[in-house]
Amino acid sequence: MRRLDRNVSVEDFRQLARRRLPKSVFEFVDGGAGQELTLLDNRAGFERIRLLPRVLTDVSRPDLTTTLWSKTYPTPLVISPMGSCALVRPGADVAIATAAAARGIPYTLSTMATTGIGRMARAVQGPLWFQLYVLKDFDFNRRLVRQAEEFGYSALVVTVDLQTGGKREKDLRNGISIPLRPSPRHLIEGIAHPGWSLRLLRDGFPQFENVRGYLGDTSAGLTIAARVGRNLHAGFDWNDFRTIRDWWKGPLIVKGVLHPGDAAGLIAEGADGIWVSNHGGRQLDGAVSSIDAITTVRDAVGGRVPILIDSAIRTGMDVIKAKARGAAVAAIGRAALFGAVEGRAGVERVLDVLLDEIATGLKLCGVPSFQQVGSDLISPALAG
């Protein structure tokens, strides 16, 4: 068994994934839209922030708990919704979810997951959220939401920043699609990565389990983004949101918000949480970074509902910086998927690295509790 403890950062796991996966698959996971301007600025936004720590405080027992809707969670992490995880490793969705559940971390199942709503609920004993891509067929949307409710998912995450699929140039060049249709290039890459290939052949090519039969023709050779995009409801508007709000009685989080006016309007229409996200730089290239957008969203929200954030969170210090800017919790996607290259054990190692970094960061910042992190922790020259 490989010594996973030699991987001491998310970046170590990213480099491991680069070695273990075919180039086309790694670039699908790691890449972004267009020229990848937003993808790069997501990281740069975190790296620009400098902290102003305090001293002579008792930080001997750092408290990582956080509260959402009167419920206390042991960590400030959430797993972002991710489609196509099984391209990395068969069963990656369940591996990530079970590793998260063991740490009390909510797992968000994507509409485009390669594990179905029911199967995930049966496999995981922990907090589960369901993420809805609003598809053209509202009856189908309703069935998905009802199924999530029946299987005990505790929150609904409605994604609003995917009116169409973004142009991912690497995927277009690499020909990555689901169902995967191997080309000579893919076969050559597969031969160079026999472990990945054997697992895929043994377990079968992944499918979008929640939308089987809905996406139509599977022989068109479309990229994943394009195939999903042509089934999205580009006309999704405020009236449609009100309809979905009426469907769901529990906490409803809106994901993909960058504009403060949208955040305020969504709260007025019943949103219980605002998830600041630019889809990890995978959709609108040139969009503002999530960490830069959160300050005006925070001001618009005014503490009425919790704010979540994703996009390029790679370290525990990123999580602390996000809290200082106004996020109640931080969501990770790629970081967990990099770990999934080594199965559940790899995901566990990634999560433990991040949680240890958060605890160490709190100590070195002189803050005893994650919930006590505030804007005063950011150097005034960079406070937003």
pLDDT tens digit string along 334-349?
A: 999 999 999 999 999 9
Q: In this model, does residue 19 exceed pLDDT 50?
A: yes
What is the phi-psi region of residue 213: left when phi exceeds 0, alpha when psi lies from -120 to 50, beta otherwise?
left
| High-pLDDT (> 70) share of the chain, % | 93
Cα–Cα distance measured from residue 305 to residue 292, given in angstroms and rounded to the nearest whole number: 19
pLDDT at 155: 98
Average pLDDT over the chain, rounded to an integer: 92
Residue 90: Cβ-neighbour burial (10 angstroms; 0-12, 13-18, 19+)? buried
What does the pLDDT look like over 217-235, one tens digit per residue?
Answer: 444 444 555 556 678 889 9
Q: What is the average per-residue pLDDT within 244-250?
A: 97
Cα–Cα distance measured from residue 77 to residue 60, given in angstroms and rounded to the nearest whole number: 21
Q: In this model, does residue 187 exceed pLDDT 90?
A: no
Q: In this model, does residue 252 exceed pLDDT 60?
A: yes
Q: List domains and CATH numbers for the chain.
A: 4-382 (3.20.20.70)
Q: In this model, does residue 319 exceed pLDDT 70?
A: yes
pLDDT at 191: 81
Question: Picking from 73-77, 113-117, 214-218, which range would have the lowest pLDDT averaged per residue?
Answer: 214-218
Q: In this model, does residue 39 exceed pLDDT 80?
A: yes
pLDDT at 222: 47
- φ/ψ of 83, rounded to 5, equals -95, 160
């969501």: which residue's tokens? 331
Cα–Cα distance measured from residue 25 to residue 90, given in angstroms and rounded to the nearest whole number: 13
pLDDT at 180: 64
- Categorize the per-residue pLDDT at 384 as very low, low, confident or very high, splitting at 50, 70 and 90: low
Question: Picking from 130-139, 266-275, 375-384, which range would have the lowest pLDDT averaged per residue?
Answer: 375-384
Task: Report in angstroms the alpha-carbon separations of 115 from 19, 105, 110, 288.
Answer: 25, 18, 9, 32
- Categorize the per-residue pLDDT at 48 as very low, low, confident or very high, splitting at 50, 70 and 90: very high
Question: Picking from 88-92, 189-193, 207-211, which range would have the lowest pLDDT averaged per residue?
Answer: 189-193
Q: What is the average per-residue pLDDT within 144-164?
A: 96
What does the pLDDT look like over 288-316, one tens digit per residue?
Answer: 999 999 999 999 999 999 999 999 999 99
Cα–Cα distance measured from residue 122 to residue 115, given in angstroms and rounded to the nearest whole number: 11
Question: Which pTM value belongs to this model?
Answer: 0.93
pLDDT at 175: 80
Cα–Cα distance measured from residue 121 to residue 109, given in angstroms and rounded to the nearest whole number: 10
pLDDT at 200: 81
Q: What is the average per-residue pLDDT within 327-333?
A: 98
* Residue among 152, 96, 146, 95 nearest 121 (CA): 152
Task: State the catalytic residues.
Answer: 279
The amino acid occupying position 166 is G
pLDDT at 1: 45
pLDDT at 220: 42
* Residue among 266, 256, 144 nearest 211 (CA): 144
**DSSP SS3 for 115:** coil
How many residues does the structure list for the chain?
384
pLDDT at 264: 98
Q: What is the average per-residue pLDDT within 182-194?
A: 78
Cα–Cα distance measured from residue 156 to residue 271, given in angstroms and rounded to the nearest whole number: 10
Neighbour count for residue 262 (Cβ, 10 Å): 18
Query: Which tokens go with 278?
Result: 């630019």
Helix 290-301 crosses helix 37-48 at what angle (to 10 degrees)? Answer: 70
Q: What is the average per-residue pLDDT within 9-27?
A: 96
| High-pLDDT (> 90) share of the chain, % | 78
